[in-house]
Amino acid sequence: MPESGQLGEEDQVEYGSVQLALPTLESVGFARQGSRGARRNLLRPRDRAFHDWYRFVLSFPPHLVRSYMECFKLDEKHVVLDPFCGTGTTLVEAKLHHVRAIGLEANPFAHLASSVKVTWDIDPDVFLAGVQEVATAARGILRDQGIDDSRPFMGDLGDIPLRTLEPEASRLIIKNSISPLPLHKTLVLQECLGRYQEAQWYEHALLALANALVFSISNLRFGPEVGAGKSKDDAEVVGAWLRETQKIARDLRTVAGQDYPRADAYLADARSLEGVLDPGSVDAVITSPPYPNEKDYTRTTRLESVILGFFSSRLQLRTLKKNLVRSNTRGVYKDDDDDEWVVDHPQIQCVAEEIERRRLQLGKTSGFERMYARVTRLYFGGLARHLAGLRTVLRPGAQLAYVVGDQASYLRIMIRTGRLLSDIAEGLGYQLVRTDLFRTRFATATKEQLREEVVVLRWPGQ
């Protein structure tokens, strides 16, 4: 089994008669009770290559994927699918271990990230030469405006025609998430980079800019939610971007000349697999769908998505959200009907009814609060729709691992996600193999330990 470090009791997971030691909470970067919020899900040094090009702040850790690939005995003869692939953790790990991988992702920016992170046939020297040309051009424009990107600006911003986003696009990003001068410098760099859209390395350079934006250039901070922290009057932009490109080139050199299997990411809705994947082509699934809570997952990538042009209007954002599993009330629409998939599921209906009773008891009348029960039904209906469609692409005996978490975001009513997902799956003909405890986390609202679990399923091939 993979190296896992020192363990506590809650970090031991039983695999039938074999005990797998999963990493401690600290080693995978989650905060224990009493620490300063939810820290970034830190990577181990050995896992930084490729994964660290860009990743969601609370992505599941690479070594969890490795554990299940080994448990499922996956090798070069198999195909593993991640239908909620996010920024490509499963895809990268599978490719590194010579397993053919396919990912589905409905968020266009996250799809770019997962695609780029498994595209390794880029000449690192050509890449670095190209980005250096871009950097020289951007620095030249800034220098003509009296801006030295490597030093804090000491002049009068009123003397500079600062570039900015269009008003509608600007309203989409979190307020104060980036200061005017760093935004101006970013848009200058982006314009210079745009001249190289035909270059093989263009998307790698774009992803490097996204990572620099989030962690060096912007004012973003990450806790339970993404938000704006202390404003920076200035920030190095071109230099920060170049450092990200150098990191990518360094990783590409480690795999140059070696033979790895393909890994493909498709821009697709995990609930609608028709025409995306071949029937009977998938041996295993390792994934983590969104959790049922009030977290708007599009906010996690909002700044980079808007600045890099993936969407610039509320209509485009709405279109994106319609392709996602309904997991929060800010992504629910009048014509949604995934709840029909669980209309006869008594446990889910019971949870939704309990949420609605609590809302009425508490006198909660806001538009979002009135949708809590509906979004609960839509969420589990979306997962049922996904699992139903998935059956056609699975080979008989396919093994599945779904990382899910209990939630109490809706008026403190406990939603046992793993338990309900297991029941849905069994109703669709899957076999529940076991449920593994991944970790627990303390919920301040309910004063309870919430479980994050891995639901392990098998498709018998009916």
- What average pLDDT is seen over the chain? 89
412, part of any domain: no
Return the C-alpha torsion angle 246, 207, 103, 97, nearest 10.
10
What percent of the chain is predicted at pLDDT more than 70? 90
Number of domains in the chain: 1
Q: Which pTM was predicted?
A: 0.89
276, part of any domain: no
430, part of any domain: no
**Which of 183, 179, 177 shows the shortest CA–CA distance to 227?**
177
Q: Which residues, including other chains, have CB under 8 Å from residue 144's CB and lie 6 or more apart?
A: none
238, part of any domain: yes
Our CA angle for 103, 106, 111, nearest 5°, is 60
Helix ranges, 97-149 (H): 108-117, 124-144
Structure tokens at 271: 């609930």
Query: Which residue type sits at 203?
Result: E
Q: What is the pLDDT of residues 207-240, one digit of tens each?
A: 999 999 999 999 999 876 788 889 999 999 999 9
357, part of any domain: no
37, part of any domain: no
214, part of any domain: yes
Is there a contact between 188 and 282 (Cβ–Cβ < 8 Å)?
Answer: no
222, part of any domain: yes
What percent of the chain is predicted at pLDDT more than 90? 80
Q: What is the pLDDT of residues 132-164, one digit of tens each?
A: 999 999 999 999 999 999 999 988 888 899 999
Domain that holds residue 220: 124-255
Please check the confidence at residue 9 and state whether its pLDDT lies above 70: no
> What is the rounded distance in angstroms from the CA atom of residue 275 to the CA atom of residue 433?
29
